[in-house]
Structures are given as C-alpha cells and as structure tokens.
Structure 1
Amino acid sequence: MKIMAARDAKNAFGLLFDTARAEPVMVEKHGRPVVVVMSVEEFERLSRQQEQGRAPRNGVSVDQ
C-alpha cells in the first residue's frame, strides 16, 4: 500500500487518483493515517467479499 502525506495528496491530486487506481493509497495527516483511497473496482470487490461473509450459513445469520 502506498502512503502519501495529506499535503502531497492535495498538491498532486491527479497522482493520488492514478496511484489509487493501481493500489490503495493511505493518506496521513501529521503522521497519522486518516483515509484510504482506492479504485472503485477494489471497493466493489471488498464490498462483495464483506456481503458474502454476512450471508446466512445453514439458515443462521452471522450478523451480531
């Protein structure tokens, strides 16, 4: 995962987008992680994976 400072992400927004299309980018502010920027495809893949994990198993829901 690529890491960018918030200032760099702001000043190079196009680079942030281009990089996030290839791999997730963690944006840090004052050295602390704040957000992760990722491609729509990666987000959709993770969302599907999460939904599959919540599917009932043998009639029993795994939600708490």
Structure 2
Amino acid sequence: MKILNASDAKREFGEVLINAQHGPVGINRNGKPVAVVVSASEYAQLEALKEAHLKQSIEEGIADLQAGKVSDGKSVINKLRKRVAG
C-alpha cells in the first residue's frame, strides 16, 4: 500500500484518486495513519462483506435462541462475579 503524508495527499489529490483505483492509499498525519483511500468498487466489496458477516452473526444468534443456548444478563453477571471473587 502506498503511504502519503496528509499535506502530500492534499497537494496530489488527483494522483491519490488514480492510485486508489489500483490499490489502497494510506494517509498519515504527524506520522500516524489517519485514513485509507480505496476505489468505489473496493469499498462496495468491503460493505458487502460486512453485511454478509452481520447477516451470518444474526442467523447464528437466532439459531442459538431457538436451541435455548442463551443466558439472561443477570445470570451472566452473577457468573462473572463468582469468577472474579474466585
């Protein structure tokens, strides 16, 4: 991944956009990462992956509910207190 400091990215924004079509471009400020510029298609893929993961997690949660593999908040807190008290 190509990395630029923020002032260079600002000055060369058109070039950043071109480079982002080929791969992510990292932007640092004061030597620390603050942003990554990606192409619109890569962003869409990332969003689709996040949505698929969320959907899978929800389906697993529903399956756990249906199988009775759940605990109420009070019992979870009590188990944690017992563990800490040791």
The two structures have a TM-score, normalised by structure 1, of 0.84
Higher relative contact order (CA 8 A, sep 6+): 1
Structure 1 spans left out of the alignment, 5+ residues: none
Structure 2 unaligned residues grouped into runs of 5+:
63-86
More helix as a share of residues: 2
Runs of 4+ in structure 1 deviating by more than 3 angstroms, as ranges, are: 56-62
Give the Cα–Cα distance (whole angstroms) in 2 for the partners of residues 58 and 33 of structure 1.
Answer: 32
How many residues end up aligned between the 2 structures? 62
Whole-Å Cα distance in 2 between the matches of residues 27 and 57 of structure 1?
Answer: 32
Q: Please tell me whether Structure 1 or Structure 2 has the larger radius of gyration of its CA atoms.
A: 2
Using the size of structure 2 for normalisation, the TM-score is 0.64
